[in-house]
Chain A
Amino acid sequence: MIIFQNVTKTYADNNVVALQDATFHIQKGEFVFIVGPSGAGKSTITKLMTCEELPDSGSIRVGEFNISKMAKQQIPYLRRSMGIIFQDFRLLPNKTVYENVSFAMEVIGASKKAIRRRVPDVLSMVNLTSKARSYPHQLSGGEQQRVGIARALANTPHLIIADEPTGNLDNETAWEIMSILDHINKQGTTVVMVTHAQNIVDDMQKRVISIEDGLVKSDQQGGYSYVTSI
């Protein structure tokens, strides 16, 4: 599903080496945490996956897309194959829950019929059917993030990329989100999640890729505490 092969990324404006010679493979259907201290290069990894940033060297594949070699015009189609979830939810304040989700389908040219069929489905997956007509400011943080997840799912992606999706939520709400992501993963969608939440990583017992100073420090099944004790 995802292949990072000797990937190095330097930000041109400040010469920070955010990622150095990173190599890892993620199989289809995996649930992978990316952890590490602040500034380690975690977000850089997700940005490379979504082609928001380009690597200096090495090769990156996501699904059928060879990101390091592909034409710019392919970027939209790469992104349609994935669902992106943000720490700050990024909902449109003047659109209802339903419209926030349908917007993601409209702008890639989905038919009205497909939208009418799909949006209620994804809203029910995240338990928000009753809030379809609410506006983001009428929702709790957890509910807003569930809208974010519903939007990411709208175009039936094979891959979910989430950069600290629970970063702005309290512990209990974070677990709500985790159980939804776990459920999505169990249905076959690959999930890559960046997080600082040790307890979540420890409890979920998934694969953990640990990044420090732009280097892959460890990559194994298990918890956060185990990783950092090495």
Chain B
Amino acid sequence: MLQAFKYYISQAFSSVFRNKLMVIISVSTLIFCMLLLGLAIAFGVNLGYISNQLESQFEIHAFVDLSYTEEAARALEPSVQGIVGIADAKFCTKEEALASLQEMLDHSNALAGLEEDNPLQFSYKITLKNIRDAGSVETALAAIPGIESVSNRTDILGGISTFTSIARNISIFGMIIFAFIAVFIISNTIKLTLMARKKEIEIMKSVGATNAFIRSPFIIEGGIVGLIGGVISFIPAYFGYSSVVAWWQGWAGSFGMFDLAPVSQLSSIFLSVFIIAGIAIGALGSMLSVRKYLEI
């Protein structure tokens, strides 16, 4: 058993070296495939990661009718709190609203003088137990007499989710195409090995080697090609993602926007997925070839 395994491995490695050019072509295609897979992963992981951040920041603002006094506005709290799905509702005075507006405008003097005759509304800042309830909570809020309008940041979240999931789907689509090409090229690489070993295989068959024994070195050869492709792809994927994250931090960090998923998280996913996908694609390619050209 162990001896057979040694035989498979040594045969597989020696033919990887013999078919250098085809191996290089196979590995290059695999790298394309893996980088697209990497893109899909990066978009996919970030879709979740960014949504979580935005969800935790997610607030619904319910503005109270301007005609309401502070007392009347505060009296709405029990009906607001009573809505199913609300985690917390915080009353926000006109002054607080003005202060946060001023902060957003970098303390410029544009709003100076408004303190005396504050035109802003009383409001409630509402956080949810689950962002999925946003729609129903908004409807319920709007139905409360005295709530004039309701606003939230779902639109930003929605925009980012749509963009990210489209980008992810495009990457997956590209990846599948390249995976097909990779399988095709690898199966041709293995075909060359099969042709080079035709005589050997004939003799193996005639002395009674089993199909599994004859096939194994070829399947392993495909797996090795896939493994090489997967490991090499990790390098550009790692550096590519690192520089995107660094750029984002420099650019978007100053706007106080969301962060991208950390490099450490992505790189371990890249490495493991690339290795598994590479070996799977390589083994699949050689199995196709072996099935087609090695009738026993």
Contact = CB atoms under 8 A, between A and B. Distances in A.
Interface of A: 50, 73, 75-81, 84, 90, 92, 103-104, 106-109, 111-112, 151, 154-155
A76 B211 contact: yes
**For this complex, into which size category does the number of interface residues on chain B fall?**
10 to 19
A45 B3 CA distance: 36
Contacts of A112: 3
B207 A80 contact: yes
Interface in B186-238: 199-200, 202-211, 213-214
B7 interface: yes
B207 A108 contact: yes
Contacts, number: 54
B207 A155 contact: yes
B208 to A, nearest CB: 4
A108 B208 contact: yes
Contacts of A107: 7, 204, 207, 209, 213-214
13 contacts: A73-B210, A75-B208, A76-B209, A77-B208, A84-B206, A90-B202, A92-B199, A108-B207, A108-B208, A109-B1, A109-B4, A109-B213, A112-B3
Between A78, A108, A112, A154, the greatest number of chain B beta carbons within 10 A of the residue's beta carbon is seen for A108
A90 B199 contact: yes
A164 to B, nearest CB: 15
Contacts of A154: 207
Contact of B206 (A50, A73, A77, A106): A50
Between A73, A77, A81, A109, the greatest number of chain B beta carbons within 10 A of the residue's beta carbon is seen for A109
Contacts of B213: 107-109
A87 B7 CA distance: 29
Contacts of B210: 73, 76, 108
Between B204, B205, B208, the greatest number of chain A beta carbons within 10 A of the residue's beta carbon is seen for B208
A3 to B, nearest CB: 21
Contacts of A108: 207-210, 213
Given A90-B199, A90-B202, A79 B3 contact: no
Contacts of A92: 199-200, 203
Nearest to B205: A79
Contacts of A84: 206-207
Nearest to B1: A109
B207 A151 contact: yes
Given A106-B7, A109-B4, A109-B213, A78 B203 contact: no
Contacts of A155: 207-208
A107 B209 CA distance: 5
A59 B114 CA distance: 106
Interface in B1-50: 1, 3-4, 7
Contact of A111 (B3, B204, B296): B3
Contact of B208 (A79, A90, A103): A79
Nearest to B210: A76
A79 B203 contact: no
Contacts of A106: 3, 7
A65 to B, nearest CB: 12
Contacts of B214: 107
